[in-house]
Amino acid sequence: MSEPAASPPQSTRTGPGRLLVAVYGLFALSASARAAVQIATKFSHAPVAYVLSAFAAVVYILATVTLSNGSLTARRIAVVSCSVEFIGVLAVGTWSIADPATFPDATVWSGYGSGYGFVPLVLPIFGLLWLRHWARRTKRARRASAERAIVPSAGAADEAAGGVDEDAHQAGSPVRSVRSIRDPE
């Protein structure tokens, strides 16, 4: 009896990924609303901060959409967006501390996200770790699927010839070992 084939994972929005997508969605919504209000009402007061808030909103939207999609292309884009986010938090955080005059109003990433409990600093780290987990999981599933596709076809011919090592098969080995077929004496 053969084992059911494990299919490659379909989405990064399962398990802890649901929480990650939810937090990214919340940040996408809040950063977008904040940037829209700031740009619409008082853009001349702190243009650099407001443009950076809008940029952060775009990054959060992109990360939310790509993390919830979960396809290979989406995961690649999510890696880029989480990396840009992490670099942005570090750069804007450092810039806002080094030159506070440029930031009369805070952005999401000012002070490394201190206004948001430093969530903007740790969120991309969790995002990148989650994406790494999925990349490894997908790789393992594809490798296992490829092994199942190759081995049973070779094993079926050997099984018909009576050359399957039943001990390896009964031990639950995913790869069947094949005995050499003996020449009739």
User: In angstroms, rounded to a whole number, what is the distance separating the alpha carbons of residues 69 and 12?
Assistant: 7
pLDDT score for 15 = 79
pLDDT score for 1 = 45
pLDDT score for 136 = 87
Q: Average per-residue pLDDT in the chain?
A: 81
The most distant pair of C-alpha atoms in the chain lies apart, rounded to whole Å, by: 96
pLDDT score for 176 = 47
Phi-psi label, residue 180: left if phi above 0, alpha if psi -120 to 50, beta otherwise: beta
pLDDT score for 48 = 92
Nearest-CA neighbor of 127 among 71, 81, 165?
A: 81
pLDDT score for 177 = 46
**Are residues 97 and 38 in contact, defined by beta-carbon separation less than 8 angstroms?**
no
Q: Which regions of the chain are under pLDDT 50?
A: 1-8, 168-169, 176-185
pLDDT score for 138 = 79
Does the pTM of the predicted model rise above 0.75? no
User: In angstroms, rounded to a whole number, what is the distance separating the alpha carbons of residues 102 and 122?
Assistant: 24
